[in-house]
Amino acid sequence: MTDLHAVLRKYWGYDQFRPMQGRIVESLIGGNDTCVVMPTGGGKSLCYQLPAVVSGRTAVVVSPLIALMQDQAAQLEQMGIPAAALNSQIPWPEQQNVMRRATKGEYRLLYVSPERLLREEFVGYLRHVPVAFFAIDEAHCISEWGHEFRPEYRQLRRLRELFPDQPIAAFTASATQRVRHDILRQLSLREPHKYIASFHRPNLSYLVRACDGVTQEQLLIAATEAYAGETMIVYAPTIARVEETVELLGRRGVAAVPYHGKMATDDRSQNQERWMSDEVRVLVGTIAFGLGINKPGVRAVIHLALPKSIEQYYQEAGRAGRDGAPADCVLLWQTRDAGLLAYFNQKIMDEQERQRAWESYHSIRNFAESNECRHRQICLHFGETPKWEKCNACDVCAAAPEWMATPAPRVQTARAQHTASRDGEAARPRRAVSNVPESALQQYMREWRRTFAKQRGVPAFMILTDASLTDLCSREPTTFEELLEVTGIGERKAQSFGKEILIALHEFATRG
Q: Where are the alpha helices (DSSP H) in 207-309?
A: 213-226, 239-251, 265-276
Give the bridge partners for 136, in sequence order: 62, 170
Nearest residue to 111 (alpha-carbon basis) of 71, 145, 139, 79: 71
Residue 469: other Cβ atoms inside 10 A: 24
Residue range 17-26, pLDDT digits in tens: 988 999 999 9
Could you give the residue range(s) of every CATH 3.40.50.300 domain in the chain?
Answer: 2-196, 204-429
Q: Is 1 exposed, middle or buried (0-12, 13-18, 19+ CB in 10 A)?
A: exposed
- For domain 204-429, the CATH architecture is 3-Layer(aba) Sandwich (3.40)
Task: Report CA dihedral (15, 20, 23, 26) to the nearest 10 degrees.
Answer: -70
Residue 512 confidence (pLDDT): 53
Cβ within 8 Å of residue 169, ≥6 positions away: 28, 33, 34, 35, 36, 47, 48, 133, 134, 135, 136
Report how far residue 170's alpha carbon sits from residue 137's, in angstroms, rounded to the nearest whole number.
6
Give the bridge partners for 428, in sequence order: 419
Residue 444 confidence (pLDDT): 92
Fold category of 440-510 in CATH: DNA polymerase; domain 1 (1.10.150)
Residue 56: other Cβ atoms inside 10 A: 10
SS3 455: helix
Task: Report CA dihedral (237, 272, 227, 462) to the nearest 10 degrees.
Answer: 140
Q: 76-111 in b/e burial notation, b at 16+ Cβ within 10 A?
A: bebbebbbbbbbeebeeeebeebbeebeeeebbbbb
Max Cα–Cα distance, the chain, nearest Å: 71
Length of the chain: 512
CATH class of domain segment(s) 2-196: alpha beta
Could you give the residue range(s) of every CATH 1.10.150.80 domain in the chain?
Answer: 440-510
Series of mean pLDDT values for 10-residue runs along the chain (512 residues): 84 91 95 92 90 96 84 89 91 94 97 91 95 94 81 89 95 90 94 94 95 93 91 94 95 93 86 86 85 78 94 92 91 88 87 88 94 96 93 93 66 39 38 59 91 85 86 93 92 91 94 68
Residue 287 confidence (pLDDT): 79
Cβ within 8 Å of residue 234, ≥6 positions away: 220, 245, 256, 282, 283, 284, 285, 301, 302, 304
How far is Cα of residue 240 from the mean position of the Cα atoms in its chain?
Answer: 26
SS3 171: strand
Give the bridge partners for 60, in sequence order: 110, 134
